[in-house]
């Protein structure tokens, strides 16, 4: 996500269906990157309408799992075989079945930590201050209202205000910075 | 997640509920509702018990584990029982939240938040006991592999070391899973808290969440994957708890049935705790609109189903021991049933086998009071079951000269009650400060019903 541009318009809608229709209409006229959509719960198909690429979170989590699991296994092997070998009745030093439990737990932990971090980083969070929070109507984005934000500076090919007004929103406000 | 078909949403959420009414009801529990005398007295009691635990820990650090009734032959007493009991309770919360999410059981929506909170608190409490039980608890970090001047490493082949990794991973993953789900709901609280300290607190916790469509997508991808990770984690962690026992060559412990048996027991006590916490909470906070009779009925069915797994394990354990004709296994089994600790065995059986049979009757499943009593009985039964597993395998060693009984001391009781105090201290704070029901998931459920429009007006056809 890029930082807020000089000017943007925020349209408010009452239902997810109206929002989906509005997004479809705006997308015919404007670039995807100049449209942002806010909803109080994940709306099926909304992200697809915006033409988002598939997420890189699963791949990151796979890497985290492999790093956690194999890293732990390598540490166990190094400690038990090279650095601190204990000869217990001539039993094998690299007793791999005993190394598996810790490695499994750490691979799950690695995947979870990488997943949460990449969700936050991908979403540009934490970001406690945002121009949208200055818009009074936006309070209801976390309750029951649906919002469409159109960055006008990023996309001067359309007359944004006319376009948004043609969608009959409940309210239309300017988001400044 | 796919839109909910009409019939599956029926009975889960009243028709007049809308996105706005859900948000108002749940956020005002944290923002506007006063604590009330009941909450304050419960909190005071919890703090009192917790102070007992804190004092006990200080006493333990000063004098050692001898303040408990531990001795040879019974070197695992209440502490390990408490540990297994608490971590097991955590499992039920994760299962409800994660496994039912993967199975797309919509009714889990109202239960998942407080079940996850229960998990986080129960695992935190449980993690204290293995550390306090170490003998020299201040060296607990020796379990962690780090380069040190002693040039020593942990013993990787020990199930206690596996346990350390299991608890560590489970605690962190369940906190992450809980917190990620809370981010959008903290945002709702932030937006309704006005100005002041609380708005700032919730604003920080919400991390600036705005609910953008691309953000939601990443959020949903992560939730799904975390749920997918949490389910095997639950099974592996509790299997490792079981391996603490079955790695030892003792009759009654050294058995391959232990990991699945422990997982079933964990889910059993976890579901019981979800009911035992949910029924009073629903009544006290007035959440009857969100935790409906159908939720309770489904939980009761789950409790019965997983209880039957546990009961089957009891039968299998006894049968295997007798069928093996191993003299120590046979002696142990007869000892459990008719020896000095027979009262433990039969109380366990009446709580965990007989009591749950009432759940076959629909009228029992429809009665919150009956469900509450049954789940408390199950919780007591599961504590006694772990205690029985520990003491009956230890109190009669292979050598009759080292036989002995376990007698709990004042501090054993204080630690058990103190762990309850610590748990309820955290849980009662959770009830006051954190949205007790996942609002964004409930909003989606409300929106998926065809009749209700988003501003709450009913469109009647």
Per-residue pLDDT tens over the stretch B153-192: 898 888 888 989 999 999 999 999 999 999 999 998 888 8
pTM comes to 0.90
Lowest average pLDDT, out of B119-128, B283-292, B376-385, goes to B283-292
- Chain A residues with CB inside 8 Å of B178's CB? none
Which pairs from B303-306 meet CB under 8 Å and 24+ separation? B303/B268, B303/B271, B303/B272, B303/B275, B303/B356, B303/B359, B303/B374, B303/B375, B303/B378, B304/B356, B304/B359, B304/B360, B306/B264, B306/B267, B306/B268, B306/B271
DSSP SS3 for B452 = strand
Residue B415 lies in a domain: yes
Would you call A66 an interface residue with chain B, using a CB distance cutoff of 8 Å? no
Task: Return d(Cα B113, Cα B442) in angstroms, integer.
Answer: 11
Per-residue pLDDT band for B9 (boundaries 50, 70, 90) equals: low
pLDDT digits (tens, 9 = 90+) for B12-28: 777 777 777 888 888 88
Nearest residue of A to residue B445, measured between CA atoms? A41
Q: Do A104 and B236 touch (CB under 8 A)?
A: yes
Task: Return d(Cα A76, Cα A83) in angstroms, integer.
Answer: 10
**Cβ atoms of residues A112 and B171 within 8 Å:** no
Task: Return d(Cα A48, Cα B213) in angstroms, integer.
Answer: 9
Element (H, E) at B382: helix B368-394
A4-23: average pLDDT: 78
Residue B190 lies in a domain: no
The neighbour count for residue A40, using CB atoms within 10 Å, is 29
Task: Report the gap between the CA of B435 and the closest CA in chain A (Å).
Answer: 13
Largest CA distance in chain A: 84
- What is the side-by-side strand order in the sheet with A171-176? A35-38, A146-151, A7-13, A171-176
Domain enclosing residue B325, as ranges: 48-176+229-436
**Cβ atoms of residues B238 and B94 within 8 Å:** no
Interface test with A, best of B164, B186, B213 (most A CBs within 10 A): B213
The neighbour count for residue B141, using CB atoms within 10 Å, is 9
pLDDT at A32 over 70: no
Per-residue pLDDT band for A168 (boundaries 50, 70, 90) equals: confident
Report the relative pairing of strands A146-151 and A35-38 from DSSP bridges: antiparallel
Residue B192 lies in a domain: no
**Cβ atoms of residues B254 and B246 within 8 Å:** yes
Residue B279 lies in a domain: yes
Quote ipTM for the complex. 0.88
Task: Return d(Cα B321, Cα B41) in angstroms, integer.
Answer: 48
Residue B194 lies in a domain: no
B201 vs A29 pLDDT, higher one: B201
pLDDT at A29 over 90: no
pLDDT at residue B421, rounded to an integer: 95
pLDDT at residue B23, rounded to an integer: 84
pLDDT digits (tens, 9 = 90+) for B236-245: 999 999 988 8
Domain count along chain B: 1
Task: Return d(Cα B354, Cα B269) in angstroms, integer.
Answer: 15
Token pair for B169: 């991973």
DSSP SS3 for A51 = coil
Would you call A38 an interface residue with chain B, using a CB distance cutoff of 8 Å? yes
Residue B461 lies in a domain: no
| HSE-up of residue B263 (Cα within 13 Å, Cβ side) | 16
Per-residue pLDDT band for B7 (boundaries 50, 70, 90) equals: very low
pLDDT at B452 over 70: no
Nearest residue of B to residue A62, measured between CA atoms? B225
Question: A7: which strand partners?
Answer: A176
Task: Return d(Cα B47, Cα B366) in angstroms, integer.
Answer: 34
Q: What is the DSSP string of B332-369?
A: HHHHHHHSTTHHHHHHHHIIIIIGGGGGGSHHHHT-HH
CATH number at B430 reads 1.20.1630.10
Interface test with B, best of A8, A14, A26, A42 (most B CBs within 10 A): A42
Residue B22 lies in a domain: no
Residue B40 lies in a domain: no
| HSE-up of residue B325 (Cα within 13 Å, Cβ side) | 0
Q: Do B208 and A104 touch (CB under 8 A)?
A: no
Nearest residue of B to residue A38, measured between CA atoms? B212
Question: Nearest Cα to B127, choosing from B237, B42, B276?
Answer: B237
**Cβ atoms of residues B455 and B18 within 8 Å:** yes
């Amino acid at each position: 996500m890029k930082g807020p541009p000089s000017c943007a318009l925020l349209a408010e809608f009452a239902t997810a269906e109206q929002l989906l229709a509005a997004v479809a209409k705006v997308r015919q006229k404007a670039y995807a990157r100049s449209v942002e959509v806010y909803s109080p719960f994940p709306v099926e198909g909304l992200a697809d309408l915006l033409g988002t690429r598939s997420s890189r979170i699963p791949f990151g989590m796979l890497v985290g799992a492999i790093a956690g699991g194999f890293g732990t296994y390598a540490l166990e092997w190094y400690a038990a075989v090279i650095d601190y070998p204990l000869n217990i009745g001539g039993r094998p030093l690299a007793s791999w079945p005993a190394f598996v439990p810790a490695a499994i737990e750490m691979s799950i932990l690695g995947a979870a930590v990488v997943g949460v971090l990449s969700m936050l980083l991908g979403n540009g969070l934490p970001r406690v201050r945002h121009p949208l929070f200055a818009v009074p109507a936006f309070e209801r984005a976390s309750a029951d209202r649906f919002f469409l934000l159109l960055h006008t500076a990023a996309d001067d090919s359309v007359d944004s205000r006319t376009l948004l007004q043609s969608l009959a929103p409940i309210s239309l406000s300017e988001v400044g910075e | 997640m796919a839109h909910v078909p009409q019939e599956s949403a029926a009975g889960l959420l009243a028709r007049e509920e809308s996105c706005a009414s859900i948000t108002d009801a749940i956020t005002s529990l944290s923002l506007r509702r006063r604590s009330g005398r009941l909450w304050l007295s419960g909190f005071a009691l919890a703090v009192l018990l917790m102070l007992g635990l804190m004092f006990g820990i200080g006493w333990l650090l000063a004098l050692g584990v001898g303040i408990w009734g531990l001795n040879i032959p019974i070197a695992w007493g209440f502490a390990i029982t408490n540990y297994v009991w608490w971590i097991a309770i955590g499992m039920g919360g994760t299962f409800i939240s994660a496994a039912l999410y993967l199975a797309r059981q919509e009714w889990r929506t109202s239960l998942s938040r407080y079940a996850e909170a229960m998990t986080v608190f129960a695992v935190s409490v449980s993690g204290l006991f293995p550390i306090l039980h170490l003998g020299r608890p201040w060296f607990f970090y020796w379990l962690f592999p780090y380069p040190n001047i002693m040039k020593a490493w942990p013993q990787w082949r020990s199930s206690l070391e596996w346990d350390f990794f299991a608890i560590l991973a489970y605690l962190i993953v369940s906190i992450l899973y809980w917190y990620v789900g809370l981010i959008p709901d903290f945002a709702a609280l932030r937006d309704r808290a006005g100005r002041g300290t609380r708005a700032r607190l919730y604003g920080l916790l919400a991390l600036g969440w705005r609910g953008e469509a691309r953000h939601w997508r990443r959020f949903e991808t992560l939730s799904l994957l975390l749920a997918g990770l949490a389910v095997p984690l639950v099974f592996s962690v509790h299997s490792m708890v079981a391996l603490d026992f079955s790695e030892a060559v003792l009759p009654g412990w050294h058995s391959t049935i232990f990991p699945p048996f422990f997982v079933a027991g964990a889910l059993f006590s976890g579901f019981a705790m979800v009911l035992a916490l949910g029924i009073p909470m629903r009544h006290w906070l007035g959440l009857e609109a969100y935790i409906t009779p159908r939720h309770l009925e489904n939980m009761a069915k789950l409790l019965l189903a997983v209880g039957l797994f546990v009961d089957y394990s009891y039968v299998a354990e006894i049968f295997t021991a007798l069928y093996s004709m191993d003299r120590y296994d046979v002696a142990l089994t007869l000892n459990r049933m008719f020896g000095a600790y027979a009262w433990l065995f039969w109380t366990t059986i009446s709580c965990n086998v007989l009591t749950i049979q009432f759940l076959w009757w629909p009228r029992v499943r429809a009665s919150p009071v009956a469900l509450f009593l049954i789940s408390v009985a199950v919780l007591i039964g599961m504590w006694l079951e772990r205690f029985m597993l520990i003491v009956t395998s230890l109190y009669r060693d292979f050598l009759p000269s080292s036989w002995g009984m376990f007698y709990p001391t004042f501090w054993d009781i204080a630690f058990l009650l103190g762990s309850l105090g610590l748990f309820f201290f955290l849980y009662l704070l959770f009830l006051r400060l954190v949205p007790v029901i996942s609002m964004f998931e409930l909003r989606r459920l409300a929106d998926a019903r065809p009749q209700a429009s988003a501003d709450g007006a009913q469109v009647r056809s």
